[in-house]
Amino acid sequence: MRAILPPLLLTLGLLSGQTLAASAEQPADIRQSGFVYCVNGQVNTFTPQKAGSGLIVDTLAAQLYDRLLDVDPYTYRLVPELAESWEVLDNGATYRFRLRNNVHFQSTAWFTPTRPLNADDVVFSFQRIFNRNHPWHAVNGASYPYFDSLQFAESVQSVRKLDNRTVEFRLAKPDASFLWHLATHYASVMSAEYADKLTASDKQEQFDREPVGTGPFKLSEYRAGQYIRLVRHDGYWRGQPLMPQVVVDLGSGGTGRLSKLLTGECDVLAWPAASQLTILRDDPRLRLNLRPGMNIAYLAFNTSKPPLDNPEVRHALALAINNQRLMQSIYYGTAETASSILPRASWAYDNESKVTEYNPRRAREKLRELGIHDLTLQLWVPTSSQAWNPSPLKTAELIQADMAQVGVEVKIVPVEGRFQEARLMDMTHDLTLAGWTTDSNDPDSIFRPLLSCAAIHSQTNYAHWCNRPFDNLLQKALASQQLASRIEAYTAAQHMLADQLPVLPLASSLRLQAYRYDMKGLVLSPFGNASFAGVSRDNAEVKKP
């Protein structure tokens, strides 16, 4: 699950300007031995648990690491990954995992493992997150935004090794969503042996910037703001990845990335702008994948600030926004108007949900009735395209124009990168254009990170909305293993959100991916980026346009 406007989780002078040298000399032409994946983003940490969102979760985690469980991108079911099997005990309060044999960690320029993965690695990875007294908990900061928003430090009583291949989690109470959270990329498994080596040399801070995982590719070279080179992990437990290397190009955004795709400098373009679809479809050298995505774009009201602390004011402002125009001008048919914070693909989506009416006349009347005059609001907006919104700044400008029609002045404040956390923590914003994608099909992976009281502290609840009855509904849904009971609780939660409107759902967009005609084996998952292990290149010729 990925929040936009992400917190900065490390004091990453560690990563800014950092260059990691390649472990081996690479061919001058990447196409002889790999491919170039172009994406707009930045790296604040190489540890997914420490990230609120961003490139590490959206792209890199699936290459560098594995999790206990995965979600099948076609059936949306939980499937084994590092755990070959699992048991649910005590009505969902105890979970026991049996680990695979002979899963090897990557050998890198900074670490050579002496043993395969075992239960110690799983215990270390999760104890670091959940146990505030663990010696590694505060290394590079004690923030684990996704798990903090779920209050896992309070809900997980213990994680322990039963034998080398068996790990058991005990929870304070049953939690029907627990397995789904372990299937997210935030729950990647790290090397305890690598951590021990860094502790012995007093270099613990290295852990989150020089990664070691069990995934199909390992980090070879990183140049901040330019590119990341990944090379094949030959000992990968699923079998050798097909491509020797992948270069993740960070060097340009917008039309610059499209130009690179057209000229062949990029082989894959992640999240192309919807406005570029005609170009992409008409070029015989290119292919385009589209899939429904588990994502939501929304406008968050800072409910801790008057007059936005009044639900009536929030409803009045919502009436001013022309969502249909957003669909036409931003998404070009690649999204549907959202009526709930849950995407329609979710099994708990409330089919009775209604899209907020566009009625500027009624918006002006309501604001006047509420005594709101000469209102000026600051709208904070990410500057780069996202999975949930290809053009956030343009979206902000359209919202600004809509608000002006009802007498509300909106000042757009672009925010990006390492400045976001400080600005969100001081709570001075009025509105935030944000979004969320999830690599879980469980509604809890949207509700709690975005709207629970705990998520205010973890900096993923941009509405700063804390409603105890709403939190109680979420806990009620977690306490039952019965799907009907969970749906009932989540339906009530959606009704409460429609009434209180701490956030205004805007759109749920398709996942888009464009790539050169000769690329094979790319998997476009509704839950985020999939492994590149099965990607290959077909050298067949194609007629140029």
- In the block, which residue shows the tokens 């570029």? 276
Q: Report whether 374 contacts 311 (CB < 8 A).
A: no
> What average pLDDT does range 54-69 have in this prediction?
92
Question: Would you state the pLDDT for residue 52?
Answer: 74
Query: Of 6-20, 358-372, 444-458, 527-541, where does the model show the most confidence?
Result: 358-372
Identify the H or E element spanning 62: helix 61-64
Q: Collect contacts of 197-201 with beta carbons under 8 A, ≥24 apart.
A: 197/111, 199/135
Share of the chain above pLDDT 90, in %: 68
Per-residue pLDDT tens digits for 499-521: 999 999 999 988 888 999 999 99
What the block records as the tokens of 430 is 């009025």
| Res 19 pLDDT > 60 | no
The full set of domains in the chain, from first to last, is 295-509 (3.10.105.10)
Average pLDDT across the chain, whole number: 88
Contact 346, 486 (CB under 8 A): no
Task: Give the Cα separation of 242 and 245 in Å (integer).
Answer: 9
What is the model's pLDDT at position 473? 97
Contact 298, 503 (CB under 8 A): yes
pLDDT-wise least confident of 10-19, 193-202, 225-234, 403-412: 10-19
Predicted confidence band of residue 525 (pLDDT cuts 50, 70, 90)? confident
Is the separation of the CB atoms in 53 and 445 below 8 Å?
A: no
Helix H or strand E encompassing 221: strand 217-223
The pLDDT of residue 16 is 43
Q: Alpha-carbon distance 7 to 453, whole Å? A: 17
Q: Is the pLDDT of residue 103 over 50?
A: yes
Say yes or no to pLDDT of 150 above 90.
no
Q: What does the pLDDT look like over 472-507, one tens digit per residue?
A: 999 999 998 889 999 999 999 999 999 999 999 999
User: Would the pLDDT of 267 be above 50?
Assistant: yes
Sign of the four-CA dihedral 278, 282, 283, 288: positive
Task: Decide if 244 contacts 33 (C-beta within 8 A).
Answer: yes
180, 441 contact by CB (below 8 A): yes
pLDDT of res. 253 = 60
Q: What is the pLDDT of residue 245?
A: 97
Report DSSP letters for 460-486, one per residue: --TT----HHHHHHHHHHHT---HHHH
- Comparing 243-257, 277-291, 364-378, 436-450, the range with the smallest average pLDDT is 243-257
What band does 543 get if pLDDT is binned at 50, 70 and 90? Answer: very low
pLDDT tens for 313-341 read: 999 999 999 999 999 999 988 898 999 99
Predicted local confidence at residue 20, as pLDDT: 55
Q: Is 232 left (phi over 0), alpha (psi -120 to 50) or beta?
A: beta
Range of lowest pLDDT (179-183, 217-221, 272-276): 272-276
Interval 274-323: pLDDT, tens: 788 888 989 999 999 888 878 899 999 999 999 999 999 999 999 999 99
